[in-house]
């Protein structure tokens, strides 16, 4: 007899990486970080609509945001001025 698998398994996204990295045991902190990540993604995608993926890595005291897009020059701007402005704006709001 052949090995049969459940067809629902084929529809699951097992091979997708998480969008936020950084786990904690405290549920209140997890919820707060998750809401902050969602607000951060919403703000970035509203300003730059052509973004493919935003990855947020959290450590104990800070967060690292990685933006994947087709044209990074649009986000970086002339001599990195737009990137610096976006960084200051995101630090101020979070």
Per domain, the residue ranges of the chain are 16-93
Sequence-separated (6 or more) residues with CB below 8 Å from residue 24: 30, 33
**What's the pTM value of the predicted model, to 2 decimals?**
0.70
E strand or H helix at 28, and its extent? helix 27-47
**pLDDT tens digit sequence for 1-60:** 567 777 777 766 666 666 778 777 788 888 888 888 889 889 888 988 888 888 988 888
Which two three-digit tokens encode residue 23? Answer: 């786990």
Residue 46: Cβ within 10 Å count? 8
In this prediction, residue 12 carries a pLDDT of 65
In this prediction, residue 15 carries a pLDDT of 62
In this prediction, residue 76 carries a pLDDT of 85
Query: Does domain 16-93 match CATH 3.40.930.10?
Result: no
Residue 37: Cβ within 10 Å count? 20
Q: Per-residue pLDDT for 80 more than 80?
A: yes
């Amino acid at each position: 007899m052949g090995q049969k698998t459940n067809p629902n398994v084929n529809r699951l996204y097992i091979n997708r990486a998480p969008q936020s990295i950084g786990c904690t045991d405290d549920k209140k902190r997890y919820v707060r970080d998750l809401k902050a990540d969602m607000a951060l993604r919403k703000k970035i995608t509203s300003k730059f609509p052509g973004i493919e993926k935003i990855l947020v890595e959290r450590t104990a005291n800070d967060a690292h945001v990685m933006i994947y897009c087709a044209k990074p020059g649009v986000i970086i701007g002339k001599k990195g001025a737009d990137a610096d402005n976006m960084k200051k704006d995101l630090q101020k709001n979070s």
